[in-house]
Chains A and B, each alone.
Chain A
Amino acid sequence: MEKSTQPWRKLLYTPQPYPDNYTDVSFLSQLKRNSTVKRYTFRKLISDFSLVSLHLNTLALTHIFFLGLYSYDTRIDVPLTVSTTISVVLLLFYNSSDNSSRVVIQDALKSSLVISFTIFTLSPVLKSLSESTSSDSIWSLSFGLVVANLITTDYHFNLKDKFNPIVSTNVLIAEATVLASRFNSDAKVFAFMLFCIQIHGIFPIFDTWLREFHVPIHHLMTLATGSIATFCIYKMMEFPWLLIWCILHSTILVFCPIYFILLQKYKNELQGPWDIAKPILNGTD
């Protein structure tokens, strides 16, 4: 028997009585498998993916408003007053709950006034911006910008991360400008721009705050926006678009979580002492 009483040691510099291709029992005993893998529940996934759905809903609301103004020549006062009152109410709500943010509120008021006056002044310029361009190029430009927005949005899945909505907001404002240049009256331009900014600028900040402190209201908002968007699509557009919309939402909210959890069984993360050690800096990790 080749095995002697001397145990096999994991050293190269000493001659050992074992052959070169000897595999010891302790081989890979320090292997760790899937130690960092997160456990996902349906609840977590659905609540996370509902953020995507919320974003899609807000986008849909914006574009429905545009469609109404452009093709159906709806009156601007109803949606505009609704959205303005809601945003003012939200601001007051936000203010009353959080006393330390008085300065923030004043800043928000000032900036909202600045915003309103700017849009008011620039409406004639925006109106004639792309007069000579054909509609098709505007639609394609707008589509590209929406795709860019979907890619760059910060859905803020993890509340501890820093919220960075700058690029997506800018893209969306650019898209709103581009679409607004199709209108033929100043009032429509003003209304549309203001609506867009309220929904995409003020609402995400409010939504983040909601998710932190009043989670059920956040879910309520998601459902509310979803239902309003679906209702408007049903009213304004043909059946295939509604079908596509419902399929999209069900995919996001139902199919994707199931698929995600099914894919978890393929996770096979290996760690061991052969990996690079991660230095612990500042005493905390």
Chain B
Amino acid sequence: MEKKAVRVAYGEALCKLGETNDKVVVLDADLAAATMTGGFKKQFPNRFYDCGIAEADMVDMAAGMSTMGLIPFCSTFAVFAGRSYDQIRNGVCYPKFNVKFGFSHAGITLGEDGGSHQAIEDIALMRVLPNMTVFVPSDANECYQCVEAAAKIDGPVFIRTSRLPSPVYDPQPFEVGKGVVLKEGKDGVLFTCGIMKEHAIEAVDILAGQGIDLSLVNFHTIKPFDEALAREFAAKYKKVFTLEEHSVIGGLGDTVASAIIGHGVESFHKIGILDVFGQSGKPADLLKEYGLTGPQIAENIKSHL
């Protein structure tokens, strides 16, 4: 299966968007080669603004530019969502300015740079902000859809992307705020987002081989969240699992939990980063260290059934 990093798809999507929408401008904080906005910079040099290593300034500059009718996409590492949080909150979300954030290198699969750079809290930080839309694309095709949708939304949008190349699945119909049912099975349901989709699919396949038939649902939009779909599957299949490359505090798991509480669930179990920081290592080794490989996820789920 073809593999492509979601950040690469983000860069490609910006170029495509730039061809059809001349209001789109791109800002980066000296990371164009990493966030993959470099392609846009090359194709549209007059619509690319480097802000230097000053993420907070980048966000507020984008806020100002948006008031001139432009649609700024800012990019940096997801870990700097924390560094520029006040600017995202008060400069962009509070006035509901039309600024997009394509923040890359999220999660532990960033790898060797280590825990200081591995964002495990960005979804939590972003989804608590009023007016914000939060996308966590699960593969390249979904990222193209998220970027296209972001440009059409009048207001702030956060797009979380990953460094690690991951499988590119066939594109699914896309609607903002709607979950995507990948499989229906009677023994429980696994909700996932982002590049954990690959590992969720593997886990569900392993369990199927052992006679355990799980449903699998992917959420590209964490906010607004598809509460109706989460409730429907939780009520129907009773045993609920969530999987994310993010802290189990404040991310997809808690989003699902608040949606389904009181809807007849028998058990609920969150799989993700267990309130610890990451560390240096190869992405595959890190996934194993934190229990996020397909076989480990399958084992984890089985122990809770």
Please indicate whether A and B come from the same complex rather than being unrelated chains.
no
B binding-site residues for A, Cβ under 8 Å: none
A binding-site residues for B, Cβ under 8 Å: none
